[in-house]
Amino acid sequence: MRLRSLLFVPGDRPDRMEKALGLGADALILDLEDSVALARKTEARKAVASFLGSAVRRARLFVRINALDSGLLEDDLAAVLDARPDALMLPKAEGSGSVEALAALAPGVPILPIATETPSAIFQLGSYAAVRHRLVGLTWGAEDLPAAIGAVSARNPDGSYTNPYELVRSLTLFAGHAIGAAVIDTVYPDFRDLEGLQRHAERARRDGFTGMMAIHPTQVPIINASFTPTPDEVAKARAIVDAFADNPDSGVLQLDGRMIDAPHLRQAQRILNADAADRSGPATGTPKSRF
Ligand code: COA
Ligand code: MG
């Protein structure tokens, strides 16, 4: 099963965790970081550990821990590791060194770095190849980086990203694909604006992101649909694959009056693989075998 939608649930809201399991998200991100106030971290750790221990794993269960230098991470890990989260999301990651540091504290647990939350992190985006085997994928954020550099906003008045954040988004996209990892687009915070979300998610898929994070239940079906190939796309992809199978010695063919060659075949195979993965149903097995 792929990671199309990943729904955040604040770690101090166990009522919402149970609800979140039934929403069709491919993964839940149980948050111990920014959505939990300092005074409630202990309570959140307990709630997350207890949920991990008891939940029927209809979705993969990730935990967003606090950053390496937060002074909170050791207690986060002590609370949740025994309950076997499917992955740890690492905020404020700064390249392979951060992943290695976390892996030393949490051996064997897959890691999903948020790879663009500090200025230095941007210059480490090319370093993740060294720790590829530990990664679930890469994702990025558009909230912490502007705060870190004193930018007024990451967005133009019409909601689109300003140039610096478009750059960061694109760099994450290529950094992920450079190592053959899943690339997860960041959240769309305006959760009442479902049309805006749909445009955002469709643009993400168009550009090559493989999934997207959500913050609210209503966002999940829209994200899932946006990252699921339509029957029409699957039929076209099958026609391309079939055309090349019927003409094994041809590098270039025509289909319905349009030229197709190697990149079209690669793209078609990618769509068929995604379709096959979507049909294979909920994840089973050990975390290692799932990524
Ligand atoms: N997971 C599961 N259920 C959620 C949810 C979530 N992330 N967000 C909302 N819900 C549920 C509510 O419990 C409510 O359920 P009910 O109808 O059975 O009572 C329903 O969805 C409607 O909620 P709504 O009133 O629209 O939202 P809200 O104002 O209570 O909460 C947020 C809005 C943004 C605070 C909330 O969606 C949230 O906490 N999202 C996650 C934030 C987060 O983790 N951020 C960190 C990463 S950016
Ligand atoms: Mg943050």
- Any idea where the domains of the chain sit in the sequence? 5-228, 231-271
User: What CATH number does the domain located at 5-228 have?
Assistant: 3.20.20.60
pTM of the model: 0.93
| Ligand 1 atom 41, closest CA | 215
Task: Please name which of 232, 241, 246 lies closest in space to residue 273, comparing C-alpha atoms.
Answer: 241
Q: Does residue 16 line the site of ligand 1, with CB under 6 A?
A: yes
Q: Which of 17, 215, 218, 220 to mutate to test ligand 1, by most ligand atoms within 8 A of the CB atom?
A: 215
Confidence class for position 277, pLDDT limits 50, 70, 90:
confident
Residues 71-116 pLDDT 10s = 999 999 999 999 999 999 999 999 999 999 999 999 999 999 999 9
Residues 216-243 pLDDT 10s = 999 999 999 999 999 999 999 999 999 9
Reported residue count of the chain is 291
Q: How far is the CA of 275 from the centre of ligand 2 (A)?
A: 32
Residue 121, pLDDT score: 98
Q: How far is the CA of 263 from the centre of ligand 2 (A)?
A: 37
| Ligand 1 atom 18, closest CA | 19
